[in-house]
Amino acid sequence: MIDIKLIRENPELVKENIKKKFQEHKLELVDKVLELDKKSRETSLKGDTLRMNRNKLSEQIGSLMRVGQKEEAEKIKQEVVSINEELSNNEKLEEEYKNEIKEIMMKIPNIMHESVPTGKDDSENVEVQKYGEPVVPEYEIPYHTEIMESLSGIDLDSAREVAGNGFYYLTGDIARLHSALISYARDFMINKGFTYAIPPFMIRSDVVTGVMSFEEMDAMMYKIEGEDLYLIGTSEHSMIGKFKGKILESEKLPYTMTSYSPCFRKEKGAHGIEERGVYRIHQFEKQEMIVICEPEESYEWYDKMWSYTVEIFRSLDIPVRTLECCSGDLADLKAKSVDVEAWSPRQQKYFEVGSCSNLTDAQSRRLGIRVRKKGEKQTYFAHTLNNTVIAPPRMLIAFLENNYNQDGSINIPEVLRPYMGNKSKIEK
C-alpha cells in the first residue's frame, strides 16, 4: 500500500506506474481515492468544528449554571444534544470513508523502482547474469521423477490415492537428500548471520491481507473452514506478520531471519497440476529469508539476499542465472524483484527456483510496522524484503539433473556430505 499523500500530490505518477504494469483497469481507482479523500477530509473538518462548538456551548452551560440561569442553560443543553447527534452521524461517515479508502488503496500497486524494465509478463523478463557453465552431458538425462523412481525415492500413485494430484511421497535416499538440502540451506543462512526460526504454519486473515495482494490471496491461499485461519504459502507470511503493529527501535535494525516451513498453495491458474512431474505441487517445504530494515538500506540488502541464493546453488555445482522481473510480472506489493533460475541439462534451459523481492514500505503500511529512532517521537515505516533460499522439490530437480551420472547414480557435493551420512553418491 502506498502513501495516500503521494496520490494527493502526484496522482499522475501513480497512474503512470499503473500503466507500466499494464493494469489500466485500475486507473479509475486513483480518481476514486482522490474524490473520497476530499470528502473524508471535509467530513473530518466538520467533525472538528462540531466538537469545537460543543466545547464552547459546554463552557457556556457551566457559566450559566454558576450564576443560577438554569433555564438558559437547559436551552443550550438541547443544542449540545443536537450537536452530539450530528457528530455521531458524522463520525460514522468518517469511518465509512476511511474503510472505503483503505479498501481501494490496497488494490493500487506499489511504486516500482525506476530500474524495473517495462514488459507485459514473465516472457519479457531480462537476463542479468549467468553463474557457472551450463553443461549438457553426452548421455541422456531422464525426467526427474524417473530418476527418483529408479532410486526408489518417490511414489506418486499412492499420493494421488491419498490426497490427489499435486502431492507425493518421498522415500529412502531421495527423502534424505530433500531433508539434507533444507538443513544445509538452514546452516548456510545461519552462517551468514541470519536468525533461524520456525514460524506458525497458519495465519489470520488480517496478516494475509497485510503481506499479499487480494489477487495473490485468491490464487494461492487455502482457508481453514470455520476459522479465521489460512495455511501459509510461504514462511515469509508468518515472519513478516511477526512484526505486525510493532514500533521497532532503529538501533536494533536490521532484523535478518531465515525460516523453515511447509508451504501450501492452490496453484490456481497454473494450467493444471502435472500428474507426472513435481514442478507445481500443492504442498512443499522451503527455507526462506526475510529482512526488515531502514528504508535507505533496503536495496543494499536486496543485492545481498539474491546473491546468497546464487552462492548456495553454486556450492552444490548447479549453474544458475538471474532474471530482472519486468513491470508486468511484478506482484502489486513489489517494488523490484529478481528471479534465480537453475540450469536444466535435460531441457537445456533454465527454470525458476527462487525469487527475491524488495517490497519497500508496502507491507509495513498494511501491517503497521514502524521504526523510531532513539530519543525521537516521530515514527516511519520499515522496509521489508524476502527471498527464497531453496525450495524443494524444484531445487531437488535441479540437483538431480546437474549431479546425474550415466550409470544412474547421483553425485553428492562435498558441502552436502555431512548431511547425507558422508555419502559421496546415491546409487541404485
How far apart CA 237 and CA 234 sit, in angstroms, is 6
CB 330 within 8 A of CB 121: no
Residue 276: count of CB within 10 angstroms of its CB: 10
How far apart CA 178 and CA 369 sit, in angstroms, is 35
Class of domain 122-426: alpha beta
Of 283, 311, 313, 338, nearest to 398 by C-alpha is: 313
Task: Write down how long the chain is.
Answer: 428
What is the block-wise mean pLDDT of the chain (428 residues), using blocks of 10 residues?
Answer: 94 97 96 96 94 89 84 86 92 94 94 97 96 95 95 94 92 97 98 98 94 83 94 95 97 97 78 63 94 98 98 96 97 96 96 96 96 95 97 93 97 97 94
Of 82, 3, 5, 99, nearest to 43 by C-alpha is: 99
CB 373 within 8 A of CB 383: no
Query: Largest alpha-carbon pair distance within the chain?
Result: 107
In sequence order, which residues have a C-beta less than 8 Å from that of residue 79 and are 6 or more positions away?
57
CATH topology of domain 4-105: Helix Hairpins (1.10.287)
In the chain, % helix, strand, coil (3-state, to 5) comes to 45, 20, 35
Residue 49: count of CB within 10 angstroms of its CB: 13
How far apart CA 345 and CA 404 sit, in angstroms, is 10
How many CA atoms lie less than 13 Å away from 341 in the CB half-sphere? 23
Cell numbers describing residue 290: 526475510
* pLDDT at position 276: 65
CB 364 within 8 A of CB 383: yes
The letter for the amino acid at 396 is L
For residue 335, the 8-state DSSP code is: S
Interstrand relation of 370-372 and 247-249 (parallel, antiparallel or unpaired): parallel
Cell numbers describing residue 57: 456551548
The letter for the amino acid at 130 is K
For residue 249, the 8-state DSSP code is: E
Radius of gyration of the chain (CA): 28
- Domain coordinates in residue numbering, the chain: 4-105, 122-426
CB 384 within 8 A of CB 364: yes
Q: Is the peptide bond before 393 cis (omega within 30 degrees of 0)?
A: yes
Residue with cell 531437488: 396
How many CA atoms lie less than 13 Å away from 286 in the CB half-sphere? 28
Ordered strands of the 370-372 beta sheet: 247-249, 370-372, 379-381
* pLDDT at position 272: 47
CB 232 within 8 A of CB 203: yes
In sequence order, which residues have a C-beta less than 8 Å from that of residue 271 and are 6 or more positions away?
none
Cell numbers describing residue 5: 499523500
How far apart CA 212 and CA 238 sit, in angstroms, is 12
